[in-house]
Amino acid sequence: MRRGLARPGNWGISARSAFVAASVVFVALGVTGMVLAGVLYRSMLSEVDNAAAARVARAAAIIAARGPDGLDDTLLSTDSRILAVQVIGADGTVLRRSPGAPASPLIPVGALGTGPRIGMPEHDSPFGQIRFSAQTISGPDDAQYTVVVGEGSPLVLSTVGTVVTALAVAAPVVIAVSAAATYLLVRRSMRSVDDIRSRVAAITTSDLTERVPVPDSRDEIAALAVTMNEMLARVEAGHTAQQRFVGDASHELRSPLATIISALEVAQAHPDLLNADLAEHTLMPEAQRMRSLIDDLLLLARADEQGWNIRHDDVDLDDLAAGEIERIRREHALEVTATITPARVTGDPAALARVLRNLLDNAARHATSVIEVDLRRAGADVVLMIGDDGPGIPAPDRLRVFDRFVRLDEGRSRGAGGTGLGLAIVSEIVAAHLGQVRIEDRPGGGTRAVVQLTAVGLATDQWSAANR
């Protein structure tokens, strides 16, 4: 266990965050300290060099005009930046010097050359390793004199060393404080995450009404909790819809199956009753109804699981409508009037044919005597309208009829042949084609279903936009 905890990969998020924060602060302080020490050293050294250069220039100017004896005591004084001042003759004799300066030359004067020399490399001296500035000039008597100024570079090094030491002492405290603060902050945040995790772990399919706690803070953890609750709401809605779907499907399948079993039990008890009339008027209609229901259920189940696999072909909707209208005329003794103009859309021919078939079958199921079909272009859209002169649909129910297994009172008769899935399939197919479907009143009474799709060419841009 201890061996595993020694690996950072096995630490908790709080510990890893604290370690990363401490490492970042350590590197930042190290880099900042080195840069600061370098800048401070160069700045103080430049200040010392400038003070020494100014002293050399003033002393050289006076010597050139009045000789070494013209120097006053202020030019020979020392401070933290000027450690020593010497005036050396051509023979190496120290003619003037500051208090504390040695009687022997601080540096060999023969190697100086002409012109001022500022910030010469450090040499050994009674003051230790120090830098020098110097200049050789001619006095009034044409004699050569050299002014040498020892700079206070040890003070620079001492000051920089003090700053570095202070940073080294403060760094562990800053690193420890940053690590502790990061650990406590992340641990507090992770407590909310742990509450969310515990609540999610306790949620089961038997009770999906539970929700995770949302922290009072308006941060990413609160956003995660809100998103988690929204996801749980969707899961609950999907689970409820699935349970309702299974219950409705079981109920719908039970009715034709019970009818078939009852008819077969009667035929088993009375074999003479198992004739063509029983098969034609009882067994076959119920079997066909069961097959239609199972086909619709499988279609919706595949759509729920995989989505509608819609093809993007050019479809002549007027040809599909003409074919379905002929089928309705053959199967029903109803007056079917049709106004059809050429209309081409982009979509799946089989799916669009299913829309036409379901709407026409629904109209035929409820019509009293007339079915009206109108297909035309309306600007950039293709509009299909299928109406009937039946009892109509109340306005509050016009959205509900597109739900699954929904039958209104006028259409609940099992003999009507409906399964309650036809309009639900229509709605999902039209939505998959980026279209709209609605129910409205038919002029003269009854119901009219209106399907609105985008014409071919213009629909291509919509498909591309929807798939991006």
201-236 pLDDT, tens per residue? 877 766 777 788 887 777 777 888 888 888 888 887
Does 164 lie in the same domain as 19? yes
Residue with tokens 């499988």: 298
CA distances from 253 to 118, 247, 260, 279, 291 (A): 106, 10, 11, 19, 10
With b for 16 or more beta-carbon neighbours within 10 A and e for fewer, the 183-197 pattern comes to beebbebbebbebbe
Residue with tokens 């239609």: 292
Is residue 213 in some structural domain?
no
Joined tokens for residue 319: 């040809």
d(C-alpha 58, C-alpha 71), whole Å: 9
Does 436 lie in the same domain as 350? yes
* DSSP classification of residue 150: E
Does 427 lie in the same domain as 352? yes
pLDDT, average across residues 75-98: 86
Instruction: State the pLDDT at residue 113.
Output: 66
Reported as a pLDDT band with limits 50, 70 and 90, residue 27 is very high
CA distances from 457 to 20, 313, 355, 464 (A): 57, 11, 21, 11
Instruction: State the pLDDT at residue 386.
Output: 94
Is residue 208 in some structural domain?
no
d(C-alpha 208, C-alpha 213), whole Å: 15
Is residue 214 in some structural domain?
no
Q: What is the pLDDT of residues 235-245, one digit of tens each?
A: 877 777 777 77
Q: Which amino acid is at 128?
A: G
CATH of the domain at 120: 3.30.450.20
pLDDT at 159 over 80: yes
Instruction: State the pLDDT at residue 411.
Output: 42
Q: Which amino acid is at 418?
A: G
d(C-alpha 59, C-alpha 54), whole Å: 9
Q: What is the pLDDT of residues 126-143, one digit of tens each?
A: 666 788 888 888 888 888
Contacts of 195 (CB under 8 A, 6+ apart): 212, 213
* DSSP classification of residue 69: G
Is residue 346 in some structural domain?
yes
Is residue 210 in some structural domain?
no
Percent of the chain with pLDDT over 70: 87
pLDDT, average across residues 301-307: 70
Instruction: State the pLDDT at residue 374.
Output: 94
Instruction: State the pLDDT at residue 44.
Output: 87
Please identify, among 243, 272, 302, the residue that sits at the C-terminal boundary of a domain: 302
- CA-nearest of 86, 65, 88, 90 to 76 is 86
pLDDT, average across residues 399-406: 80
Contacts of 251 (CB under 8 A, 6+ apart): 405
pLDDT at 458 over 80: no
Does 453 lie in the same domain as 315? yes
Percent of the chain with pLDDT over 90: 18
Is residue 316 in some structural domain?
yes
Is residue 42 in some structural domain?
yes
Does 329 lie in the same domain as 252? no
Average pLDDT score, the chain: 81
**Crossing angle, helix 284-306 and helix 220-269, to 10 degrees?**
160
Q: What are phi and psi of 143, to 5 degrees?
A: -80, 155
Whether 320 and 375 have beta carbons less than 8 Å apart is answered as no
d(C-alpha 405, C-alpha 249), whole Å: 8
Instruction: State the pLDDT at residue 286.
Output: 77
Instruction: State the pLDDT at residue 438.
Output: 93
Instruction: State the pLDDT at residue 207.
Output: 73
Is residue 212 in some structural domain?
no
pLDDT, average across residues 95-102: 86
Does 197 lie in the same domain as 269? no
Q: In the chain, how many H helices and how many E strands?
A: 10, 12
Reduced to 3 states (helix: H, G, I; strand: E, B; else coil), residue 290 is helix
The tally of CA atoms less than 13 A away on the side-chain side of residue 260 is 14
* H or E, element range at 427: helix 422-432
CA distances from 441 to 321, 395, 447 (A): 21, 9, 5
Whether 71 and 96 have beta carbons less than 8 Å apart is answered as yes
Residue with tokens 């803070």: 217
Please identify, among 202, 228, 254, the residue that sits at the C-terminal boundary of a domain: 202
pLDDT, average across residues 394-423: 67
Does 198 lie in the same domain as 239? no
Query: Euclidean distance between the first and final Cα of the chain, in Å?
Result: 50
Does 295 lie in the same domain as 323? no
pLDDT, average across residues 87-107: 85
The count of structural domains within the chain is 3
Does 158 lie in the same domain as 56? yes
What domain range includes position 463? 308-467
Whether 429 and 351 have beta carbons less than 8 Å apart is answered as yes
d(C-alpha 195, C-alpha 441), whole Å: 53
Instruction: State the pLDDT at residue 360.
Output: 93
Please identify, among 202, 228, 250, the residue that sits at the C-terminal boundary of a domain: 202
Instruction: State the pLDDT at residue 322.
Output: 93
Does 263 lie in the same domain as 167? no
Reported as a pLDDT band with limits 50, 70 and 90, residue 345 is very high
pLDDT at 306 over 80: no
Q: What are phi and psi of 123, to 5 degrees?
A: -125, 160
Does 243 lie in the same domain as 118? no
Reported as a pLDDT band with limits 50, 70 and 90, residue 414 is very low
CATH of the domain at 407: 3.30.565.10
Does 174 lie in the same domain as 48? yes
Q: Which amino acid is at 80?
A: S
Whether 263 and 278 have beta carbons less than 8 Å apart is answered as yes
CATH of the domain at 236: 1.10.287
Reported as a pLDDT band with limits 50, 70 and 90, residue 1 is very low
Q: What is the CA radius of gyration of the chain?
A: 50
pLDDT, average across residues 142-153: 85
Burial class (CB in 10 A: 0-12, 13-18, 19+), 70: middle
